[in-house]
Structure 1
């Protein structure tokens, strides 16, 4: 499959790998780091909700800018902000300041519409059935590939030298990732006389259906997952290093689910992914054996693949000239959903002595969402590109940015 990946996408794969490696050292230790700095579980849940809200602030304006000036500059700018946020968290001596650093880092979500747009604009023969899914699954496999060992490595580093060391290493890795992606050629959507704006998106029924379903599903997927590290440490007695290793298992699961998405139809893939997260959440709740917990985390790897599938589908449902806006809308709605799930998880976690209500809520809530996808007309039978889409791409050297 790599022979179908052009030079730009290969540079992005390498940069994305370094970004994931740098982030993966500490991303799943945020809850524990905030706790170490004095935050209670309720405060941790609330802060993670605020962090998620920060992720939802900029995708729509960033998507509009992407449509106007191309994805490369948006991507690089957002990654620089991510490095700054990690630096703030590394310097923090109390949990509110660390939370601010994590929130600043999460502004990098503004880059997500640009990253998907960048990869799709650099995908040849995108109209061929399954081509976009195959390229996206291959390029973005660089993320779980790094995450297979990054969380375990981060956990070991944290046990020896503290989570702060992970954060400092993360700063260095993010700077390196920016320098690599900066070498890519700038690409932009080709100009078109067709009017493309928010009203055009609202008339796209398939887009509206997915924009409704994806955040709804995400709340149910995240509510049992977001405080899983806190639950495993406080209730099950898991060490930080063990929790880091579990997230490496999760990333291995993500690689497997990426492969499935590259082979199966989107409608079937959604069912597989939601079913996997349901079973993983159930196992964390019910299994007291370490093997069961390991299987659960492998299944929870489907959550990140859900994002890949949803955003790839959105990118195909709209014309290249409005792809940034469409991806920005779904990204914002997705992070609002995660913020809601994080806040709910924090409230439910403290509501009983067993601290298992977030897991129970996830297990129960996913079932009607799965039924909705299977039996409701909300779910489109297949994802298809718009037939009236304008030409996809020009290089920056041949097409100046719009005024």
Structure 2
């Protein structure tokens, strides 16, 4: 459509500027809504990734015990083969000790799972922590590599509680959508101590000796 006359041309320019202003305003509003939606989605993802509201008191206790217990174990575990060698063990005998450790770790959780299906899981967890404490004490008093075997038995028996911990956490979380996130945090708390404990343990061993480190770790 053609417009004639200066007044009509001015009106057309005003309409164009008004339309452009409205377009920019609409675009800015859309951008703001997108940012708000992205922020809400980010907060939602954060709440899913860290569902601390789903943690019960007992789950927090399990996490703390994982951190404390793994720190004590981490003080000696990765240099334990050196300690075995210091007790006059050769390579074959060292393999026997470490194979005993891993053998118990592989086999003991099986009856642990059977017990967790039949007995009180909380009691199984508490009982399984007890031999975990005695293992490094037995190691510290060993005068020969063969005397380490009872300690490996205690360490292996402590694996009895692993299925009970997993089952207990799953049954304690009310929202089934958050079970996996809570469970991953529980087991990550165990590995967390292993970041620092080996360095601390080896440093202490150079000062007070490995036997004292083992006794401290208990």
TM-score (norm: length of structure 1): 0.40
CA distance in 2, matches of 1:73, 1:58: 17
Inter-partner Cα distance in structure 2 for 1:160 and 1:151: 15
Please identify runs of 4+ aligned residues in structure 1 that moved more than 3 A: none
CA apart distance, 1:95: 1.1
CA contact (8 A) 1:90 1:164 kept: yes
Q: How does 1:220-239 map to 2 (within 5 A)?
A: none
Partner of 1:88: 138
Q: What's 1:258 paired with?
A: none
With CA pairs under 8 Å and 6+ residues apart, which has the higher RCO, 1 or 2? 2
- Contact 2:87 2:144 (8 Å CA) reproduced: yes
Whole-Å Cα distance in 2 between the matches of residues 166 and 3 of structure 1? Answer: 37
Greater mean deviation of Cα atoms: 159-168 or 25-34: 159-168
Greater C-alpha Rg:
2
- 2:91 maps to what in 1? 41
* Residue 119 of structure 2 corresponds to residue 119 of structure 1: no
Residue of structure 1 equivalent to 2:7: none
Q: Distance in 2 between matches of 1:97 and 1:36?
A: 13
Corresponding position of 1:4: 54
> What are the equivalent positions in structure 2 for 1:22-61 lying under 5 Å apart?
22-61=72-111
RMSD: 1.5
Is the contact made by 1:54 and 1:104 (CA closer than 8 Å) also made in structure 2?
no
- CA–CA distance in structure 1, aligned partners of residues 103 and 136 of structure 2: 17
Partner of 1:164: 211
Partners of 2:204 and 2:213 within 8 A in 1: yes
Tell me which residue corresponds to 2:45: none
Asked whether the equivalents of residues 97 and 152 of structure 2 are also in contact (C-alpha less than 8 Å), the reply is no
Quote the offset at 1:48 in angstroms.
Answer: 0.8
Contact 2:66 2:189 in 1 (8 A): yes
- Partner SS state of residue 118, structure 2: helix
User: How many residues matched?
Assistant: 168
Q: CA deviation at 1:106?
A: 2.0
Q: 1:135 and 2:185 equivalent?
A: no
Q: Distance between the aligned counterparts of 1:124 and 1:162, measured in 2?
A: 47
TM (normalized to structure 2)? 0.72
Match of 2:21 in 1: none
CA deviations on 1:304-349 (whole Å, 9 max, x unpaired) are xxxxxxxxxxxxxxxxxxxxxxxxxxxxxxxxxxxxxxxxxxxxxx
Relative to its length, the structure with more helix (as a share) is 2
Q: How far off is 1:113 after superposition?
A: 0.6
Structure 1 residue 92, shift from structure 2 partner:
0.9
The answer for unaligned runs of 5 or more in structure 1 is 172-403
- Corresponding residue to 1:145 among 186, 192, 209: 192
Q: Distance between the aligned counterparts of 2:107 and 2:68, measured in 1?
A: 25
Of 114, 128, 152 in structure 2, the residue corresponding to residue 102 of structure 1 is 152
